[in-house]
Amino acid sequence: MPDIILKAEHISKQYRLGLVGTGTIRDDLKRWWHKVQGKEDPFLKIGDVNDRSIKGESDYVWALQDINFEVEQGEVLGIIGKNGAGKSTLLKILSRVTSPTTGEIKTKGRIASLLEVGTGFHPEMTGRENIYLNGAILGMTKAEIRQKEEEIIAFSDCERYIDTPVKRYSSGMTVRLAFAVAAHLEPDILVVDEVLAVGDAEFQKKAVGKMQDISKGQGRTVLFVSHNMVAVKSLCTRTIVLEHGKVVFDGNTDEALSHYLMNENEIKTEMFWNEKDAPGNIKAKIKGIRLTAENDNFIIENKMTIEIDYINYLDNQTLNTTIAIFDVNGTHVLSSPDLSRNNLKKGTYSSSIIIDKDFLNTGKYLFTIYLIGNNFEVIAELKDVLSIEIDELGVNRKDYFGYWGGVVRPYFKWQTKKLM
Residues that bind another protein (CB under 8 A): 1, 3-4, 15, 20-22, 24, 70, 92-111, 113, 115-116, 119-120, 122, 124-125, 132-133, 136-142, 165
Based on CB atoms, which residue is closest to another protein, 119 or 368? 119
Based on CB atoms, which residue is closest to another protein, 73 or 374? 73
Least CB distance from residue 16 to another protein, whole Å? Answer: 8
Based on CB atoms, which residue is closest to another protein, 11 or 324? 11
- Angle between the 127-137 and 171-183 helix axes, to the nearest 10 degrees? 50
Query: What gap in Å lies between CA 202 and CA 206, rounded to an integer?
Result: 6
Least CB distance from residue 401 to another protein, whole Å? Answer: 24
Based on CB atoms, which residue is closest to another protein, 22 or 329? 22
Least CB distance from residue 396 to another protein, whole Å? Answer: 35
What b/e string do you get for 287-304 counting C-beta neighbours within 10 Å, with b at 16 or more? Answer: bebbbbbeeebbbbbbeb
Based on CB atoms, which residue is closest to another protein, 121 or 298? 121
Query: What gap in Å lies between CA 91 and CA 103, rounded to an integer?
Result: 15
Least CB distance from residue 7 to another protein, whole Å? Answer: 8
Task: Count CB-CB contacts under 10 A for residue 335.
Answer: 11
Cα 380 off chain centre by = 36
Least CB distance from residue 168 to another protein, whole Å? Answer: 12
Based on CB atoms, which residue is closest to another protein, 100 or 373? 100
Query: What gap in Å lies between CA 207 and CA 194, rounded to an integer?
Result: 11
